[in-house]
A and B are shown apart, each in its own frame.
Chain A
Amino acid sequence: MASHPTALAHHFDNLEQQREASTFGMWVFLVTEIMFFGGLFTAYAVYRLRYQEAFAAASNSLLTWAGSINTAVLICSSLTMVLAVRSAQVDRRKMIVLFLCLTILLGAVFLGIKAYEYRTEWQEHHFPGAGFRFAGPDPRHAEMFFSIYFCMTGLHALHMIIGMSVLAALLLPAWRGRYNPEWHNPLECVGLYWHFVDIVWIFLLPLLYLFGAHPR
């Protein structure tokens, strides 16, 4: 601790207190995120109960294979994130940078596949609005499904972009050896955030893609 006094902010007694405070702060922030997504999940639950058939039909039109691959990509990115933290714990500076880069790369792959999905849905006129077309039993409520789908996945993608930006911001300090077994709390906190975003997707996959999926 004494060898890295720069990490200690003036108003904390020691690094241990500072670490506990910022990790705890991150957990509280994640609680606010749960409530934030919670509003959308509530809207989804209410309307899905009311318009089962329309929602199932609309859900079935999503690219389930793309959602599934993306799930695998995200879970792998969580692994590389953990390995970045682990590398700091065993004091492997270059490995931290490598795993951070891999995490960012996997995030980019996820967003790329997501963009491909959006493009497909745009071509099939599944964007809500005047151009919306849907060859199903209840196009009006299918449109509502897509409204909620784009809100939820869009908000999730925004969280991914923010996470990738923060990870990118940690690259330089990591390269310069700021993180070591005694002090790597920024990595840990971003890690918590990254896993949270991952878990949101774990909920989105069954709710949006799987529940209406059947062979077309």
Chain B
Amino acid sequence: MDTANTPAVEPMPELELPRTNYLNAAYGPRSWLFTRDHKRIAILYLASVTAFFALGGFFALLIRLELLTPEGDLVGPDTYNKLFTMHGIVMVFFFLIPSIPAVLGNFLVPLMIGAKDLAFPKLNLASWYVYNLGAIFTLWSIIHGGVDTGWTFYTPFSTTYSNSYVVSAALGIFIAGFSSIMTGLNFIVTIHRLRAPGLTWFRLPLFLWSMYATSLIMVLGTPVIAITLLLVAAERVLHLGIFDPALGGDPVLYQHLFWFYSHPAVYIMILPAMGVTSELVAAFSRRAVVGYRVVAFASVAIAVLGFLVWGHHMFVAGESVYAATIFSVLSMLVAIPSAVKVFNWTATLYGGAISLETPMLYALGFIGLFTIGGLTGVMVATLGFDVHVHDTYFVVAHFHYIMVGGAIMGYMGGLHYWWPKISGRLYPVFLSRLAALLIFVGFNLTFFPQFILGYLGMPRRYWSYPPEFQVLNVLSTAGASVLGLGYLLPAAYFIWSMRYGKLSPANPWGAVGLEWDTDSPPPTHNFDVTPIVTRGPYDYGQQPALAPQEAPVG
């Protein structure tokens, strides 16, 4: 069973790589840099977002090292401000937002609907270049000394007082936003117009419903932050008076416009992870997701409600008490579709034939961590409680439970689930389970103490703190080291598996779905003949669980 240490692969005669697939159809840098194949573009995105994940993780490492001791001894306060700013900018705009949509979504949307490609392949490739152009602007500002405004760019600090590279960072995000718009537009049109014959809306896998809801947010929200950051840059360079009170402007208007996008952006991160979780729970419980339609509509409901709650970021920013009350109630409403999903996944597990493969470990981790993140979200949506924990580590812990415990867990689960399809290879089972465990333990050790720290009153964004907070901070830093190790491990064995991993059959998990009906890795045009869909998703019937001796091992 445990063949993780097998040095090389014995090629099995009955299981060879399909003669021509999208990976070996053409070779050389030109065949990648000018490709219009959605699967290759997904791989390009995978490389880019992984590089940015490493960069953002590096900033996080420095933050945690600084907070190991109460004194500010590793870096100065200005450097610390830049570290958490760049950690936020890199992780939010250059890793989390593109992660699942641009990597897994790009790869899977055409495969899952039985199409040859996305509706606009050139636009898809262009989006990758636009993303990288934005990344260059942001890297430029990092290399020249960084930004210290916080990832939120609050005015008037960002427009008037900050002496850091705000304009290039803002332009970088502005540009990268267009890649997000292009991806969303492409997905919406593809899902509407390119579905295989017989694939009705209610036969779509839930991953596609969540991709669709995510795309709606990308298309409706991203332009707003684009114009907002453009105005910040214009105000800084041309001294227009839009947000700066010295010029007659209102800085709170900036916050309204910023959060109108940036709150829904959280759902750009979490909805795709929910979609992945639905797929994983169904595949490894051998059951259709309970209440399919409700779960599908819950995705859309979250996307819609997400646009109505931005004011909950501004409870203490001089918002009227009536507005704050309404935003508070609307924010709590988001808990309803979210809870619908959690309960339906749990109901699917109940009575399912569960097999604890590596992707399923991430799915289970997601359900638990997202629940904690979501429930603390209801807590901070409560006006009185928010005044107590506002701008403390409680909020930091809350959104990391959503963004790391939720979004990245989903991303890792999805990568492990579809990696055999993407690469045509299997990865080591033992190591991958170990990594899932390390990530789960490391994550909780890092961020659970921060709930307590925040409740006790430790504010966020400070480089030093009173000595009585040290024990919890040391725990958090220790957890971050475990978490970092947990992320390095998959990076290592995924790269290893590309060359040495066992060849994967077309459907290593015995899962249901159009993407599993084609070869691993798929041919360039995905399907030899356009599939005709006659069944709903997750049609597992009375299939038995994956028997241990059949379980794919690497």
Contacts and interface: CB of A to CB of B under 8 A. Distances in A.
A47 B253 CA distance: 10
A25 B118 CA distance: 12
A20 interface: yes
Interface residues of B, number: 41
Contact of A46 (B119, B248, B250): B250
Interface string A23-49: 011001101110111111011001100
Contacts of A20: 193
B220 interface: yes
Contact of B188 (A17, A28, A47, A130): A28
A7 interface: no
Contacts of B228: 39
A135 B412 CA distance: 62
Interface stretch (A76-84, A93-101, A141-149, A201-209): A141-149
Contact of A32 (B192, B223, B247): B223
A143 B223 contact: no
Contacts of A147: 240-242
Contacts of B250: 46-47
Interface residues of A, number: 38
Interface in B184-238: 185-186, 188-190, 192-194, 219-224, 226-228, 231, 234, 238
Contacts of A22: 119-120
A214 interface: no
A21 B194 contact: yes
A205 B446 CA distance: 55
B253 A151 contact: no
A129 interface: yes
A10 interface: yes
Interface string B368-389: 0000000000000000000000
Interface in A95-125: none
Contacts of B227: 36-40
Contacts, number: 109
Contact of A151 (B119, B185, B234): B234
B510 to A, nearest CB: 29
A33 B116 CA distance: 29
A151 B221 CA distance: 20
A11 B121 contact: yes
B248 A24 contact: no
B188 A35 contact: no
Given A11-B117, A39-B228, A28 B185 contact: yes
B242 A24 contact: no
B239 interface: yes
B247 A10 contact: no
B226 A128 contact: no
Nearest to B218: A32
Contacts of B192: 24
A121 to B, nearest CB: 14
Contact of A25 (B115, B119, B257): B119
Interface string B88-120: 000000000000000000000000000111111
A4 interface: no
B77 interface: no
B189 A144 contact: no
A10 B249 CA distance: 52
B173 to A, nearest CB: 14
A51 B250 CA distance: 12
Contacts of A35: 219-224
A28 B186 CA distance: 9
A35 B302 CA distance: 19
B185 A143 contact: no
Contacts of A11: 115-119, 121, 194, 525
B181 interface: yes
A144 to B, nearest CB: 5
Contacts of A46: 250, 253
A140 B248 CA distance: 6
Given A21-B189, A25-B119, A144-B249, A39 B257 contact: yes
Nearest to A35: B223
B219 A151 contact: no
Nearest to A150: B240
A51 to B, nearest CB: 8
Contact of B238 (A10, A25, A47, A129): A129
Contacts of B222: 32, 35
Nearest to A29: B185
Contacts of A9: 121
A42 B247 CA distance: 18
A60 to B, nearest CB: 19
A51 B238 CA distance: 22
Given A11-B116, A39-B227, A28 B189 contact: yes
A13 B121 CA distance: 15
A128 B219 contact: no
Contacts of B242: 43, 144, 147-148, 151
B116 A10 contact: yes
B253 A128 contact: no
B220 A143 contact: no
B249 A31 contact: no
Contacts of A38: 223-224, 227
B117 A42 contact: no
B110 to A, nearest CB: 8
Given A24-B189, A28-B185, A42-B257, A144 B247 contact: yes
A151 B231 contact: yes
A37 B226 CA distance: 10
A40 B234 CA distance: 13
Contacts of B234: 151
Given A10-B116, A128-B241, 20 more contacts: A12-B194, A20-B193, A21-B194, A24-B192, A28-B188, A32-B181, A32-B223, A35-B220, A35-B223, A36-B224, A39-B227, A42-B256, A42-B257, A46-B250, A47-B250, A143-B247, A144-B242, A144-B249, A147-B242, A150-B240
7 contacts: A9-B121, A21-B120, A21-B190, A21-B194, A25-B119, A28-B185, A143-B247
Interchain residue pairs A-B with the least CB separation, the first 5: A39-B227, A36-B223, A147-B240, A35-B223, A11-B117
Interface of B: 115-121, 181, 185-186, 188-190, 192-194, 219-224, 226-228, 231, 234, 238-242, 247-250, 253, 256-257, 525, 530
Interface of A: 9-13, 17, 20-22, 24-25, 28-29, 31-33, 35-40, 42-43, 46-47, 51, 128-130, 140-141, 143-144, 147-148, 150-151
